[in-house]
Amino acid sequence: MKDHYGREIDYLRISVTDRCDLRCIYCMPEEGIEKQGHMSILSFEEIEEIVRAAVSLGVGKLRVTGGEPLVRKGVEKLCAALAAIDGVKELAMTTNAVRLSAMAAKLKEAGVSRLNVSLDTLKPDRYRRITRCGSLDHALQGIRAAWEQGLPVKLNCVLLGGVNDDEIESFVELTRKRPIQVRFIELMPMGEDKAGGGAFLPCSTVLERVPALRPFRPLAPEKKGVARLYALPGAAGQVGLISPLSDCFCQSCDRLRLTPDGKLKPCLHSSEEISLRGLHGEALAAAIREAVQSKPLRHPGLSQEVRSPAGRDMNQIGG
Ligand code: SAM
Ligand code: SF4
């Protein structure tokens, strides 16, 4: 599907729950969220019907996210059903990895082909402080379990000035021997008061702190993604920089986002949502096409001072 600006839209991110077993300072309120009742969360059958319609219109790449997707019971069954849809070329998941050691084999068997794992620090005390309750050990065990299953893992690290920026070098160092991608993400002004989430740091800070990083061009370039890639000379892995604020990548945006309660968001940073609940057949397809056509050229001037007009917190969208 081409949007109004000629961009090919072939990627759907599916947030399967707004609930999470962590409370990251930049993402969730400390006290958690009001649980959406089962009636307001899409059932697996409803999600599958929506995905089938999107795939029939040209979507080939799927990502299951949340909240934390692994807290939704039976998520591996949903993954298996989605991976089996004719036309699905790739099924990925974004997770905090806390429950991954028990789930990695099931996800692999279900057809999940790769994972993005959020990891903002390599220090146990700091991990607990940033996530307000999590155990770094559990997340690391989860990452190891994914590797044992042969699942490629990208690490997502949100840059939090004054909180974790003294670990930039350590994260980059992880790429020297391991064929992993460590991605630094600029803090986006979502949710309530983000003061506790650290100060905004542009991704250029990473290049200042590690001047040895060089632009990386893969031998078989993937479709242009959101990350600008760098690598240390001779390193096995890469460093990705994701800069939604300092260097917006809207011109290559290829995605739609499905919220847990059945709304399709044409843009992460817009309150526009198209409700898909209760639609079937041609009406469902028409609503998906409408979302594609209403994708804006770019987000509305996001900055550190201006809160995102997304209308929801990140745990209700999925990143
Ligand atoms: N719970 C899963 C996880 O943490 O990986 C999936 C959902 S989480 C909302 C998806 C991604 O959004 C994570 O990589 C997280 O770091 C990122 N995220 C959440 N709030 C953010 C914010 N305010 N700015 C930048 N990234 C954010
Ligand atoms: Fe949960 Fe992910 Fe948000 Fe952290 S970033 S609170 S793990 S949804």
Cβ of residue 118 lying under 6 Å from some atom of ligand 1: yes
Of the residues 68, 133, 160, which should be mutated to test ligand 2's pocket, given the most ligand atoms within 8 Å of the CB?
68
Distance CA 98, CA 189 (A): 25
Percent of the chain with pLDDT over 90: 75
Cβ of residue 158 lying under 6 Å from some atom of ligand 1: yes
The pLDDT confidence band at residue 305, using thresholds 50, 70 and 90, is low
pLDDT of residue 319: 79
Q: Whose CA is nearest to atom 21 of ligand 1?
A: 27
pLDDT of residue 247: 80
User: What's the average model confidence in pLDDT over 5-24?
Assistant: 95
* The pair of three-digit structure tokens given for residue 218, joined into one six-digit string: 């893969």
Q: What are phi and psi of 46, to 5 degrees?
A: -65, -40
DSSP, collapsed to helix, strand or coil, labels residue 249 as coil
The pLDDT confidence band at residue 249, using thresholds 50, 70 and 90, is confident
255 has pLDDT over 80: yes
pLDDT, greater one: 44 or 270: 44
What ligand 1 atom has the least distance to the C-alpha of 26? 23
Distance CA 141, CA 164 (A): 21
Judging by beta carbons within 10 Å of its beta carbon (0-12, 13-18, 19+), is residue 1 exposed, middle or buried? middle
Distance 158 CA to ligand 1 centre (A): 8
Each residue of 112-150: pLDDT tens digit?
999 999 999 999 999 999 999 999 999 999 999 999 999
pLDDT of residue 34: 66
What ligand 2 atom has the least distance to the C-alpha of 315? 8
Q: What are phi and psi of 164, to 5 degrees?
A: -130, 10
pLDDT of residue 312: 73
pLDDT of residue 192: 58
pLDDT of residue 8: 94
pLDDT of residue 155: 98
Q: Which of 194-203, 260-269, 303-312 has the lowest mean pLDDT?
A: 303-312
Each residue of 56-93: pLDDT tens digit?
999 999 999 999 999 999 999 999 999 999 999 999 99
pLDDT of residue 49: 98
194 has pLDDT over 60: no
The pLDDT confidence band at residue 220, using thresholds 50, 70 and 90, is low
37 has pLDDT over 70: no
Report the chain's mean pLDDT, rounded to a whole number. Answer: 91
Cβ of residue 17 lying under 6 Å from some atom of ligand 1: no
Distance 118 CA to ligand 1 centre (A): 7
pLDDT of residue 314: 79
195 has pLDDT over 70: no
Q: What is this structure's pTM?
A: 0.95
pLDDT, greater one: 270 or 265: 265
269 has pLDDT over 90: no
Which of 40, 52, 61 is CA-nearest to residue 223? 61
pLDDT of residue 31: 79
Distance CA 146, CA 122 (A): 18
Distance CA 250, CA 267 (A): 9
Cβ of residue 316 lying under 6 Å from some atom of ligand 2: no
| DSSP 8-state assignment for residue 161 | B
Judging by beta carbons within 10 Å of its beta carbon (0-12, 13-18, 19+), is residue 139 exposed, middle or buried? buried
User: What's the average model confidence in pLDDT over 281-289?
Assistant: 97
309 has pLDDT over 80: no
Percent of the chain with pLDDT over 70: 91
Which of 165, 190, 181 is CA-nearest to residue 244? 190
